[in-house]
Amino acid sequence: MEIYTLLSKEFHIREEHSKNIVELIDGDNTVPFIARYRKEMTGSIDDQVLREFCDRLEYLRNLIKRKTEVQAAIEEQGKWTDELSCALEKAATMTEVEDIYRPYKQKRKTRASVAVEKGLQPLADIILAQELTKGDIEEIAVGFLNEEKGVLTVKDAIDGARDIVAETISDNAEVRKILREYLFEFGHIRSKLAKDAPKEKALTYDMYAEYAERINTIPSHRILAMNRGENEECLKVTLEADENALLTKIEYRFVKEGSITTHIVKEAAADSLKRLIFPSIERENRAALTERANEQAIKMFEVNLKPLLMQPPLKDKTILGFDPAYRTGCKIAVIDKNGNCLTTTVVYPTPPQSKAEEAFEKLKGLIEKYGVDVISIGNGTASKESEIFVADMIKKLNRPVAYIVTNEAGASVYSASKLGAEEFPDFDVSLRSAVSIARRIQDPLAELIKIDVKAIGVGQYQHDMPQKRLTEVLDGVVEDCVNKVGVDLNTASFSLLKYVAGLNAAVAKNIVEKRKEKPFGTRAELLGVPKLGNKAFEQCAGFLRIVGGKNILDNTGVHPETYPAVEKLFKRIGYGAEEVKSGSFQDLDKRISENDFAKIAEECGVGVPTLRDIVAELKKPGRDIRDNMPPPLLRSDLMSMEDLVSGMELTGTVRNVIDFGAFVDIGVHQDGLVHISQISDRYIKHPSEVLKVGDIVTVRVLEVDLQKKKISLTMKTGNREKPALQRPAEVKPKKQELSVEEMLGQLQNKYK
């Protein structure tokens, strides 16, 4: 089947669009560029589906390449047949291709290959044919005795021939496929605690000490847990299936009743299943389960990372970063509204020093001097004690200040990185962490892309994943987020610029060096940057913004290639030069009725999807799409786990979505778990159907285990009238969990 046709069927798109996408990919176009500026050619397919399309295209091309290699190898042996040609053409997976190639692959020394060297292949053929109904196979075997080759007895001859038959059965591609599928559909995966399991680790895998589940229904996170337990030598994991059922399927294809060699073929079939086939298909099924589990875990990391990166920035706020610690003290950094570090210090409100009064006076002075609006507290070691201190301190201040507990995962990675050292060469490593913790709420995307995204901590089992694949997927997420938001060409850091479509690290550095000479006035000036050619300009230009430049369009997502179309649009709907210069296009909807879109698009020389994008960009030049998302919840007071009772209703923020549920920050320092069974009143297959990182949810406490520090929550509405999930437009935070503006507004009124 033509590759375009196959892809169009799998992705439910027109074959024309499938062909166009392949050609665009082959033309070195980036996914963000194709998704944003080639909608007419792709049918407006989004970036996430495009990346899946790219992965599938690469797999199919590798499959075709492998088929060609297999055919050439078999032809070289002079064994190529029409039957093999048909089988290879139908093979839809790499595993099926390797099954076909197995009989022709050069193997290491086996019992069967030794028997063949001893001249027993003809005897094996006689036995497997099962055409003899009279006589004695022992008498026939006598003719194959050969003292020189080591065939000394009739038993030696028959045993060797049986080994050849067993390997012949094992090498049959159809049988292997049937048994592999049967094992997956009807088999079980079983785990047992290893006899010599380290005692300190064994408790972690208590659930899997004696566990079994159907292979085709076991969820991915349990596969990964078993794999980790096996790697840590705590568990023994095996696959099991009905041996009689498997043997029956082999005998159905190879055994012919009534022959004097039937019993030998049955013995060979049983030996082949136990010694050759089952260990092989067990490994293949384990590998397939692991691959599926890895992809699911990577997918969950991707699903969680995107909303985390796209969190709305806290604009126009002075922020105090608070990096908690015990013995070495809490590191403090104050950053201004543009992210510049104003000052740093260290305070010791936590044990063992416990100098809370001294810390209060020092921080109070900084807050008043620099006009701090928000305190961002890292959630690492000593975070709880720090949060208690900050909440108490806020009550004593004479200006409105709120706080938020920020996920500091990866902050230490950034602090010790080359980039961290370049940004703050005179800072101690821990002080860089305090700056990062502050910047994470001021502009999450710009700060989080500075670290290895695997260190952000919104996935599960990420350290067990194939790192190359994980990095590839997560870099794609970062690239999509950066390009969706857009980047200020004259202020963006090198770290941010390198993720813009069409740019790389070297070109990003060249851009930074170029603007030191003179800020960019137009996008066209990018062509003067060393190593940034026409192709790179085509890919990146639409995603780079110039605030206050010579052309208002340079501060929008309108691509320079469509500037002539925009000029035609202005002329067509009657915008004069002064109106264009002012950049006020709020009445576009009045000037372009829905019925006119197709006609105007044709007159302007663009497609309808492109015209709609142009109109949307013109209505809000310089807009930040993150501003439409729910703001983070800020707090001014603190609860503890001891305050929680069953049935208590709280508002929280989703911090992580995993296969079996979601963790929610409810303001007691310890995140609570909403199990998948407690997320919705209706049945759901996965938590991501309902929740994403950053969602604001209403939960009720089910159970609190103070000893294990576990909080069980539910989002099921029960008799409650309001929904458990509140999307941005519906958010009504509780008193202790107000949005930024509400919090500051209330505090300002209080201290007037």
Per-residue pLDDT tens for 122-149? Answer: 999 999 999 999 989 999 999 999 999 9
- Helices 3-10 and 15-26, interaxial angle, to 10°? 110
Task: Quote the pTM value.
Answer: 0.80
Closest C-alpha to 695, from 670, 668, 723: 723
Q: Are residues 158 and 280 in the same domain?
A: yes
Three-state secondary structure call for residue 211: strand
Domain stops at, among 627, 658, 682: 627
- Per the structure, the complete domain to which residue 56 belongs is given by 3-81
| DSSP run (H or E) holding 487 | strand 487-488
Three-state secondary structure call for residue 320: strand
**Does residue 94 belong to any structural domain of this protein?**
no
Summary mean pLDDT of the chain: 89
Q: Are residues 270 and 126 in the same domain?
A: yes
Integer Cα distance of 57 and 13 in angstroms: 14
Integer Cα distance of 752 and 747 in angstroms: 9
Look at residue 292 in the predicted model and tell me its pLDDT. 93
Look at residue 533 in the predicted model and tell me its pLDDT. 96
Q: What is the CATH number of the domain that holds 660?
A: 2.40.50.140
**Does residue 632 belong to any structural domain of this protein?**
no
Q: What is the mean pLDDT of residues 627-653?
A: 79
How far from each other are the two terminal CA atoms of the chain, in whole angstroms?
Answer: 75
Q: Are residues 223 and 282 in the same domain?
A: yes
Integer Cα distance of 535 and 28 in angstroms: 9
Q: What is the CATH number of the domain that holds 9?
A: 1.10.10.650
Among the residue ranges 217-231, 432-446, 696-710, 735-749, the one predicted with the least confidence is 735-749
Sign, CA torsion 73/76/80/85: positive
Look at residue 1 in the predicted model and tell me its pLDDT. 60
HSE value, Cβ hemisphere, 13 Å, CA-based, for 586: 2
Q: Are residues 621 and 657 in the same domain?
A: no
| Number of separate domains in the chain | 5
Q: Are residues 268 and 335 in the same domain?
A: no
Q: Are residues 556 and 670 in the same domain?
A: no
- Cα dist from 650 to 315, 689, 707, 708, whole Å: 27, 22, 22, 21
Q: What is the CATH number of the domain that holds 613?
A: 1.10.150.310
pLDDT tens by residue, 376-392: 999 888 888 898 899 99
One-letter-per-residue 3-state SS of 83-107: HHHHHHHHCCCHHHHHHHHHHHCCC
**Does residue 52 belong to any structural domain of this protein?**
yes
Q: Are residues 383 and 364 in the same domain?
A: yes
Look at residue 735 in the predicted model and tell me its pLDDT. 39
Please determine, for residue 736, whether its predicted confidence score (pLDDT) is greater than 60. no
Look at residue 419 in the predicted model and tell me its pLDDT. 82
Torsion angles phi and psi, residue 378, rounded to 5: -65, 150
Closest C-alpha to 341, from 405, 433, 249: 433
**Does residue 381 belong to any structural domain of this protein?**
yes
Integer Cα distance of 637 and 391 in angstroms: 5
pLDDT above 90 coverage of the chain, percent: 65
Q: Are residues 122 and 237 in the same domain?
A: yes
Look at residue 449 in the predicted model and tell me its pLDDT. 87
| Residue type for position 439 | R
**Does residue 457 belong to any structural domain of this protein?**
no
Q: What is the CATH number of the domain that holds 261?
A: 1.10.3500.10
Closest C-alpha to 513, from 499, 500, 538, 531: 531
pLDDT tens by residue, 513-525: 999 999 999 999 9
Q: What is the mean pLDDT of residues 52-66?
A: 96
Closest C-alpha to 303, from 7, 39, 654, 42: 654
Q: Are residues 620 and 673 in the same domain?
A: no
**Does residue 370 belong to any structural domain of this protein?**
yes
Q: What is the mean pLDDT of residues 294-321?
A: 89
Q: How confident is the model at residue 529 (pLDDT cuts 50, 70, 90)?
A: very high
Q: Are residues 612 and 646 in the same domain?
A: no
Q: What is the mean pLDDT of residues 8-14?
A: 95
Domain stops at, among 281, 296, 311: 296
> Which letter, b or e, does each residue of 441-475 get, where b requires 16 or more Cβ atoms within 10 Å of its Cβ?
bbbbbbbbbbbebbebbbbbbbebbeeeebeebbe
Q: Are residues 289 and 373 in the same domain?
A: no
Look at residue 752 in the predicted model and tell me its pLDDT. 44
Look at residue 509 in the predicted model and tell me its pLDDT. 94
**What are residue 178's DSSP bridge partners?**
none
**Does residue 513 belong to any structural domain of this protein?**
yes
**Structure token pair of residue 359:** 């810390």
Integer Cα distance of 55 and 81 in angstroms: 32
CB 451 within 8 Å of CB 413 = yes
Please determine, for residue 730, whether its predicted confidence score (pLDDT) is greater than 70. no
Closest C-alpha to 373, from 752, 732, 745: 745
**Does residue 579 belong to any structural domain of this protein?**
yes
Between residues 460 and 298, which one has the greater pLDDT?
A: 298
Please determine, for residue 731, whether its predicted confidence score (pLDDT) is greater than 50. no
Q: How confident is the model at residue 72 (pLDDT cuts 50, 70, 90)?
A: very high
Strands 661-665 and 672-675: antiparallel
Q: Are residues 172 and 262 in the same domain?
A: yes
